[in-house]
Chain A
Amino acid sequence: MSEHKTTQELQNEAAKIWEELEAKKTAGTKLTPKDRTAIPPQEMPSRDPIQRAHEMGEVALGFTETQARVESERCIQCGGAPCKKGCPVGVPIPEFIAKIQQGDFKGAVDTIKQTNLLPAICGRVCPQEKQCQSFCTVGKMLKAPEKAVAIGRLERYVADWERANNQITVPTPAPDTGKKVAIVGSGPAGLTVAADTRRAGHSVTVFEAFQKTGGVMVYGIPEFRLPKEIVAKEVENLKKMGVEFKTSFLVGRTETLEQLLDREGYDAAFIGTGAGLPKFLGIEGENLIGVFSANEYLTRSNLMKAYDTEHADTPLYTAKRVAVFGGGNVAMDGARTALRLGAEKVYCVYRRTRAEMPARAEEVAHAIEEGVDFHFLENPTKFIGDEKGKLIGVELLNYELGEPDASGRRKPVAIPGTEHVLDIDAAVVALGNESNPLMAQTTAGLNVTKRGNIIVDENQKTSIPRVWAGGDIVLGAATVILAMGEGRRAAASINEYLASK
């Protein structure tokens, strides 16, 4: 583990580099690509690992201004912008970085917003190392993908700058068209459709089952990774644009989609209900007391603020030894939440190895720094309970990596006879989510795949007239940026349809 550096130390290092860069500039020398790639990658300031593991505050603190300026100078503005191709929504990356190089932060964030409506969020939660940054020429030149230009951190910097300096410009919607759009679900997909259809002048209502808006961004992803205030700000801006939110409204039950379209007079509808059906392991003992789905565990903590024992009514299950099963973002969030809820020992059990983990690299690094104990190449076979039905342990089996499977990842193979028991008093099953069947069950004629994902065409249109869908309910559990991308495509198609009506 590398030494933890404080923000001040990182700032001092950056300031020194910046001085040298400035000196060159005043001397009239242009930075060559070689000069630029020689600039050391800027490290993300973060709170002290030992202290932060017990607090809910955000872990990654964001670049300082100097760091952002220095990091931006690492971009060589190579031709062809390979990074942009790695971005699911095609953010004009070199263009926004060029603005930062010029010190024009507002210009930079406006450039991003041409295609990405939620940069403060995406800058924090996108798997950049698998997307834009994996294509970056600088990373390739240095033969070290982790030394690519820190595009995500720069994106976050300018979005945070805009918010902190009250520079957010709320778009003025086009004149009222008299058309009504219903949006089901307030996750990133739904919020994006709301923004784009409202901008076109339609009257827009977002229906959300929970009492709070934001979808997984509020009930799944924890505060220490994505402050809820940032999501709330995005919703607030939509409200300023005139979008109406109806919370505690479960479409399909409170009213069906058909009722909204036929009775309440909506002209078009978008379904962005997310994945939201927890996968369990299907092994013995899964219904013991102390076994949770990650959704339950995280929702109790995030949405009902179970960690705030002074105020929360929601009883908190106190556990000293917690095992989390899975290797994705959901598992990292579960493990790190367990630490913050007071667990003394937190294990993360994953069938494969660190290299195969689907989680964002930064989250894995943070989890390790905070003391999560990883058990790679192990998988549970059964949960063990006491006579009261309480979880006391889990039996694990060792694995090794075999031949690559269809996904190209090497398939984990069990090693018989290696069963062993880990003593735990809580288990968090974080294997991801499948599709919630409610909309399909309550909407006649809505075609879904065998796995329950809504089937759409290239414009996100479903099998029902006037109904579009996007995000996790179409893709299966995916990412915020992909949900947003689908939302934009759906909104464009909805706007086109409503204009022609």
Chain B
Amino acid sequence: MHKILEKRQLSYDQERDQGVYYFKVTAPEIARNRKAGQFIIFQIDDNYGERVPLTIADANADEGWIALVYQTVGASTRKFSRFNVGDEVPVLVGPLGSPTHIEKMDGVVVCVGGGIGVAPLHPIVQAHHNIGNKVIAIIGARSKNLVIFEDEMKAASDELIVVTDDGTYGRKALVTEPLKEICEREKVAEVVSIGPAIMMKFCVDTVRPFGYPITTSLNTIMIDGTGMCGCCRVSVGGETKFVCVDGPEFDGYKVDFDNMMKRMGAFKDKEREADHKCRIGLDAGKVSA
């Protein structure tokens, strides 16, 4: 049912032994009905496999495929990276979640993507662009070889700013620096931020003094993705919300990122302490939102 049509490795992080892969998979119904901001859940084994949520990075309704971009971070994603063109993905359900709210806006839309978060950001940039909004995109990575989706983002935005931690490509900065400058100089209608929780948290802090709306897309652990189990719950404005149905996008000012980060670490053996000084925007989280 869900045959792999194309497979590419977009980047490889030697330091962490993590690859980022691009998979194009047949899924006619999902391709037809998905909207920007929605995701799928896949499993590489219908008996024992973990259920992994991945945002749809691209889709073509006429050709009946969707594109998925993910990083090898756990057992399932590593096993998935060994799948090849022609193989079937045993379990793939979607599109899940509420679509991004897209409307013609007065002012610039700033889209900030960190690490693998650039992939889920892509359809949102596209959708804003298609409706006629001016989009400035900022994408960040730790180093040159970890920058992904640059051409796609360039094609879909009015201006693209690339930053790297070590300055090996684009500007040597964290995503929050150009974000702040844009907030100072432009009339911003909305900021959209997708990436590791810590990066989104800092984007919110950057935008707060300006009072511009900021939307963040959360990437919690999930099981069913239909609102049945509650494992994806987060605290938003003091209320418990389910990321899989109420989200994945929420008002960045209202999200309790600290609680979310703790919950996301719940199933990891070694919690990687996020060092936000040097890694802001760059420490690609568990899987893409």
Looking at B4-12, B87-95, B157-165, the stretch in contact with chain A turns out to be B87-95
Least Cβ distance of A284 to chain B in Å?
A: 11
Bin the interface of chain B by size. Answer: 35 or more
Looking at A110-118, A144-152, A192-200, A273-281, the stretch in contact with chain B turns out to be A273-281
A438:B262 contact, CB within 8 angstroms: no
**B:45-89 near A, CB below 8 Å:** 45-51, 74-76, 79
Q: What chain A residues lie within 8 Å of B95 (beta carbons)?
A: 253-254
Q: What chain A residues lie within 8 Å of B152 (beta carbons)?
A: none
A209:B224 contact, CB within 8 angstroms: yes
Q: How many chain-A residues does the 8 Å CB contact rule pick out?
A: 42
**A:431-454 near B, CB below 8 Å:** 436-438
A389:B48 contact, CB within 8 angstroms: no
Looking at B103-111, B172-180, B226-234, the stretch in contact with chain A turns out to be B226-234
Q: Contacts A287-B235, A304-B50, A311-B48 hold; do A253 and B92 have CB atoms under 8 A apart?
A: no
Give complex CA distance A317, B221 in Å: 13
A211:B262 contact, CB within 8 angstroms: no
Interface Cβ pair total, 8 Å cutoff: 115
A248:B91 contact, CB within 8 angstroms: yes
**B:223-263 near A, CB below 8 Å:** 223-231, 233-235, 240, 245, 258-259, 262-263
Least Cβ distance of B128 to chain A in Å?
A: 22
Q: What chain A residues lie within 8 Å of B51 (beta carbons)?
A: 304, 314
A211:B48 contact, CB within 8 angstroms: no
Least Cβ distance of B24 to chain A in Å?
A: 18
A248:B92 contact, CB within 8 angstroms: yes
B33:A255 contact, CB within 8 angstroms: yes
A296:B230 contact, CB within 8 angstroms: yes
- CB-defined interface of B8-32 with A at 8 Å, one 1/0 digit per residue? 0000000000000000000001100
Chain A residue, CB-CB nearest to B265: A289
Q: Contacts A314-B48, A388-B262 hold; do A211 and B228 have CB atoms under 8 A apart?
A: no
B266:A317 contact, CB within 8 angstroms: yes
For the complex, is B200 an interface residue (Cβ under 8 Å from A)?
no
Chain B residue, CB-CB nearest to A429: B230
B50:A253 contact, CB within 8 angstroms: no
B46:A212 contact, CB within 8 angstroms: yes
For the complex, is B43 an interface residue (Cβ under 8 Å from A)?
yes
- CB-defined interface of A200-215 with B at 8 Å, one 1/0 digit per residue? 0000000001111000
For the complex, is A142 an interface residue (Cβ under 8 Å from B)?
no
Least Cβ distance of A385 to chain B in Å?
A: 9
Chain B residue, CB-CB nearest to A259: B33
A276:B226 contact, CB within 8 angstroms: yes
Give complex CA distance A36, B258 in Å: 67
**A:355-396 near B, CB below 8 Å:** 388-390
- 7 pairs across A/B with beta carbons < 8 Å? A210-B224, A254-B93, A296-B231, A299-B229, A300-B223, A313-B49, A388-B262
**Interface positions of B (Cβ within 8 A of A):** 29-30, 33, 43, 45-51, 74-76, 79, 90-96, 223-231, 233-235, 240, 245, 258-259, 262-263, 265-268
**Interface positions of A (Cβ within 8 A of B):** 209-212, 247-250, 253-256, 259, 276-278, 280, 286-287, 289-290, 292-293, 295-296, 299-300, 304-305, 308, 311-315, 317, 388-390, 436-438
Q: 4 smallest A-B Cβ distances: which pairs?
A: A389-B262, A296-B229, A248-B93, A315-B267
